[in-house]
Amino acid sequence: MSAKEKIIWEIDLRLFSPEMAKTWSLAMLAIWLVMMLILGIVFIAQGEADVLPDLAGVLLSVTAGLWLLGFLTMALLFHGALRVRYTVSDTGVRMDIIDRVAQTGNRLAIALGLLSGRPGLLGAGLINRSRESEAVEWYDAFHTIQRPKRHLIVFKGAWRCLMFVQCLPDNYARVAARVHAEVSRHGADRRVPGKSPLPAILGRTVLTTLACFPIFALHAEYGLDVFLPLLMFCFALATLWLIPLFGWVVMGSLGLIVLSVAGRLVEEIPSQIRPGETFTRLGVMGSEDWLLLGLACLGMAWLICLSLGALRGRIPSALVAEGGDVGGCRVR
């Protein structure tokens, strides 16, 4: 078999396989954790931590509903299977979703999102559309797990699964041999770091969350709109986990936050004790006010260092840390 020869096949990917069910369940768990993290920091910063247990229950119910809705959609709309095409070539393995229902649904979501002005629907459609084609290339960092009884090959990075390759019964041996040969020839398995980057990324996530607390509290103290710190926090998480370029949004948000807080500090307020006189918040700040401002400045300093480190490549995001453009799995 020539190393240049392509192996191409189409198959109905089972949506209720153990791997797919586990992936969907973990995705829903991640959504719940992210929602709790984002909303939790807002309520805690505003001194309403007592609502967190109720919030956790409500969000858990919503996430469970989405989890169930996902399985119902797989069963009713897709009939438990998704048509895909695999291509194994001298550059890597590519998976293309060719299922008409999935393609139509993604484009319909984009169109409805644009027409209705709903960014959530538009974003979901765009993300799903972008993931209709994915590839793992031989010079990425990964190792493979072969499961002959199920005709399945799993591509795994340092901490997550990159791709499931479901073969046909009559081509599994051929594909498995080709994958093994290419991995050995290009040394993809030798590039997988021995230590997972996940603990370091989780540690930065905790530090980032702690750094944002005083910034949220500062906005609550001076009655400012929570949108800017919320935007900053969301994009800081996205910088850590998704794309380093989001660091520009974090620093831009910080600049606007500094301007808004500074405006409130020097704003002249009429005195209720001495009619006709005014004062500024900066002029009457006490020790607690200065402490909160100092903690907010320390938090901002961490977020700036994080953003600059990500933009300069010193702090890779979770999806980049495994060695590919998007964590070893390139979206086409």
Mean pLDDT, consecutive 10-residue stretches, the chain (332 aa), reads: 78 86 85 85 79 88 88 83 92 89 70 63 58 85 92 88 92 94 90 79 91 88 83 89 88 92 81 67 80 93 94 82 45 42
Closest CA relative to residue 304, chosen from 242, 257, 241: 257
Q: Are 106 and 133 within 8 A, CB to CB?
A: no
C-alpha to C-alpha distances, 30 to 1, 23, 25, 37, nearest whole angstrom: 43, 10, 9, 10
DSSP H or E segment with residue 267: none
Q: Are 142 and 328 within 8 A, CB to CB?
A: yes
Prediction pTM value = 0.68
**What does the pLDDT read at residue 31?**
83
Separation of alpha carbons 264 and 278, rounded Å? 14
DSSP 165-225: EE--TTTHHHHHHHHHHHHHHHTTGGGS-SS-SHHHHHHHHHHHHHHHHHHHHHHHHTT--
DSSP H or E segment with residue 288: helix 287-311
DSSP 43-67: HHHTT-GGGHHHHHHHHHHHHHHHH
Which residue do the tokens 């307020």 mark?
269
**What does the pLDDT read at residue 196?**
75
Q: Which residues are paired to 280 by β-bridges?
A: 268
**What does the pLDDT read at residue 198?**
79
**What does the pLDDT read at residue 3?**
57
**What does the pLDDT read at residue 144?**
94
**What does the pLDDT read at residue 152?**
94
**What does the pLDDT read at residue 287?**
86
Q: Which residues are paired to 8 by β-bridges?
A: 87
Separation of alpha carbons 229 and 253, rounded Å? 7
**What does the pLDDT read at residue 121?**
52
